[in-house]
Chains A and B, each alone.
Chain A
Amino acid sequence: MAQQAWRKIRMLVSGIIVGVSVLTTAIDRLASVTLVTGRSMQPSLNPEGGSNCDVVLLNKWSVRNYEVQRGDVVTVMSPKNPQDEIIKRVIGLEGDLIRTLGYKNRLVRVPDGHFWLEGDHHGSSMDSNSYGPVSVGLLQSRASHIIWPPHRLQRIAASLPPNRGPLDDEEEEG
């Protein structure tokens, strides 16, 4: 009798260990979900503000080689606070020339291994316009879908906001 109970306990414990490892690996490498707080990505994310926050699906697999496109909404670890994960849109990639909004330099060439991030709501966003180009090594995931609330179920499109994006070299001011 005692042996059977002991077997059951061992099976339960090993089941829990396997379950936790597989779940942790899936969350770290495949995908996870997160609640979006803050207003920096309005109106694309959280248009209703604090009362009804969006829940988004974060795709980690697609950024395993750090490949992103301009217009993608991504999450990165904040360069200002290593505990914070922030969600912004990719405006420029390495080599792009960006006309900044309120940064210390009016024109910035994005260095190698960096990208330029901006929140869609420029007035309420701490982004590259505050702290400059962000190292791509801080990239965590790409936000692919809004999954809650149900009336906002949609794919998050990779599109640059109007008038935000890299400049062609011809437009560079003298």
Chain B
Amino acid sequence: MFRSVLGKTLGFVGYTVTYGCFAHCAFEYIGEFVLCSGPSMEPTIVNHDIVFSERMSPRLCKIQKGDIIIAKCPSNPNINICKRVIGLEGDKVCTSSPSDLLKAHTYVPNGHVWLEGDNLKNSTDSRIYGPIPYALIRGRICLKLWPLHSFGSLSERPT
């Protein structure tokens, strides 16, 4: 009787480990579901939206200008940020606000990207903390899943 309990327990543990590993591989190499919070990407993504972020594009270095990405926060690795890529390495980006008379520009260094939220008035992004290393990018948001009335692909940057 003890042997059968032991056998069943080991079997259960084996299944848990196996399915845990499948889940890890799926979330790490295919994509994951993300609950977004905060106002920085309005109106494209609003508080409590659920989106799907695919994990292959950053690994293959296929992130393009205009993509919305999830990245680790440069000043706190335990939280993630969701912003739009405005400039890739070598691009010239404008760092001054539209109201400034003198326009200031900077070039994005090698291995970095320049991020901005769509809600420029309420977004902490590269205009504050500078360009972030490309390797901090975790995934590219390709689909909005919730709420259902805005299901589908995400819109371009509002002008």
A residues near B, CB below 8 A? Answer: 18, 21-22, 24-25, 28-29, 65-66, 77-83, 111-114, 135-139
Decide if B24 touches A112 in the complex (CB within 8 Å).
no
Q: For the complex, give the distance between the alpha carbons of A138 and B138 in Å.
A: 11
Decide if B18 touches A81 in the complex (CB within 8 Å).
no
Decide if A22 touches B18 in the complex (CB within 8 Å).
yes
The SS class assigned to the B binding surface is mixed
- 30 residue pairs from A and B, CB less than 8 Å apart: A18-B21, A21-B21, A21-B25, A22-B17, A22-B18, A24-B21, A25-B21, A25-B24, A25-B25, A28-B28, A29-B24, A66-B78, A77-B135, A78-B135, A79-B133, A79-B135, A80-B109, A80-B110, A82-B58, A82-B133, A82-B134, A111-B75, A112-B75, A113-B73, A135-B72, A135-B133, A135-B136, A136-B77, A137-B77, A138-B135
Rounded to whole Å, the gap between the CB of B75 and the closest CB of chain A is 4
* Given A82-B111, A111-B75: A22 in contact with B61 (beta carbons within 8 A): no
Decide if A80 touches B74 in the complex (CB within 8 Å).
no
- Count of B residues near A, CB < 8 Å? 27
Please name all residues of chain B whose beta carbon is closer than 8 Å to the beta carbon of A25 when the two chains form the complex: 20-21, 24-25
B residues near A, CB below 8 A? Answer: 17-18, 20-22, 24-25, 28, 58, 61, 71-78, 109-112, 132-136
Question: Which of B58, B110, B112, B136 sits near A137, CB closer than 8 Å?
Answer: B136
Rounded to whole Å, the gap between the CB of B151 and the closest CB of chain A is 30
Q: For the complex, give the distance between the alpha carbons of A139 and B136 in Å.
A: 10
Rounded to whole Å, the gap between the CB of A31 and the closest CB of chain B is 15
* Given A21-B18, A80-B110: A113 in contact with B136 (beta carbons within 8 A): no
Please name all residues of chain B whose beta carbon is closer than 8 Å to the beta carbon of A136 when the two chains form the complex: 77
